[in-house]
Amino acid sequence: MASFSQGGRERRSARENNSLGVASKPVKESGSNFLASISVIDADGFRPNVGIILCGSAGRVLWAKRIGQQAWQFPQGGINPGETPEQALYRELYEELGLEPDHVQILGVTDNWLRYRLPRRYVRRGRNPTCVGQKQKWFALRLLATEDQVRFDRCGRPEFDGWRWVDYWHPLKEVVTFKREVYRLALRELSGVIDQNAPTAPVSVSAATA
């Protein structure tokens, strides 16, 4: 897991230079592997994506409600061609939660891509390439701004219409089944950077096959 401890000035400078990469070092020393353009769908049918775990106090995390539904999830979104995962993170953060880069601090990011497959009923056949699921880089962030900065009117098609703070491991109980194992892996890997008082991971949370 990569962790981040740079100050605000370093974050702003890195963003202005478009040199924000994802590596197992602070952002200012980011490696070149993640600076390359990323294809929309890879050879195995997975679309690159970023997931966002935004934490407040005492290890609680932001849990968002999908617009017009009783479905809850962490914010997430696809990585566009030419974007690094971190650039996609900041774009999605603004589009989905209305937050600017200076409103958050990056605490860490998962080392590897975490993948989930879509249930068959969601796979759109007849397309080339066919997207069979998502491969994700998960970021742990700390909210530096006040809660009233979280808003859903920054883009024309909002993803969410509500949010709440929940305990760190709560999402494993509520997320849709086919995403559960990825959530478990991301939460477990990033738990060390969220809060020293975060509770211990559940003993067993398994993902059902879709």
Does the residue 137 lie in any domain? yes
Confidence (pLDDT) at 12: 41
Q: Given its phi and psi angles, is residue 122 left (phi above 0), alpha (psi -120 to 50 degrees) or beta? A: alpha
The predicted-structure confidence for 135-191, as pLDDT tens digits, reads as follows 999 999 999 999 999 999 988 899 999 999 999 999 999 999 999 999 999 999 999
- 118 contacts: CB under 8 Å, gap ≥ 6: 131, 132, 133, 134, 178, 210
pTM score, whole prediction: 0.77
Does the residue 113 lie in any domain? yes
Does the residue 202 lie in any domain? no
Range of the domain at 53: 2-194
What long-range pairs does 38-42 form, CB within 8 A, spacing at least 24?
38/79, 38/81, 38/82, 38/83, 38/84, 38/85, 39/81, 40/78, 40/80, 40/81, 41/129, 41/130, 41/131, 42/135
Place of tokens 């993170």: 89
Q: Is the pLDDT of residue 129 over 70?
A: yes
What long-range pairs does 119-128 form, CB within 8 A, spacing at least 24?
119/178, 119/210, 120/210
Residue among 63, 50, 121 at smallest CA distance from 92? 50
Q: Is the pLDDT of residue 26 over 80?
A: no
CB contact at 8 A, 72 and 161: no
DSSP 8-state assignment for residue 90: H
Amino acid at 206: S
Does the residue 134 lie in any domain? yes
The C-alpha atoms of residue 87 and residue 78 are separated, in whole angstroms, by: 11
Query: Which burial class, exposed, middle or buried, applies to 165 when counting CB atoms under 10 A from its CB (0-12, 13-18, 19+)?
Result: middle
The tokens of 39 are what? 């294809």
Does the residue 203 lie in any domain? no
Q: Given its phi and psi angles, is residue 93 left (phi above 0), alpha (psi -120 to 50 degrees) or beta? A: alpha
Of the pLDDT bands very low, low, confident and very high (cuts 50, 70, 90), residue 94 is: very high
Does the residue 178 lie in any domain? yes
The C-alpha atoms of residue 140 and residue 150 are separated, in whole angstroms, by: 17
Pairing, β 61-66 against β 160-166? antiparallel
DSSP 8-state assignment for residue 132: -
- Asked whether the bond before 129 is cis by omega within 30 degrees of 0, the reply is yes
**149: domain CATH number?**
3.90.79.10
Does the residue 32 lie in any domain? yes
Q: What is the mean pLDDT of residues 88-101?
A: 97
Total structural domains in the chain? Answer: 1
Does the residue 199 lie in any domain? no
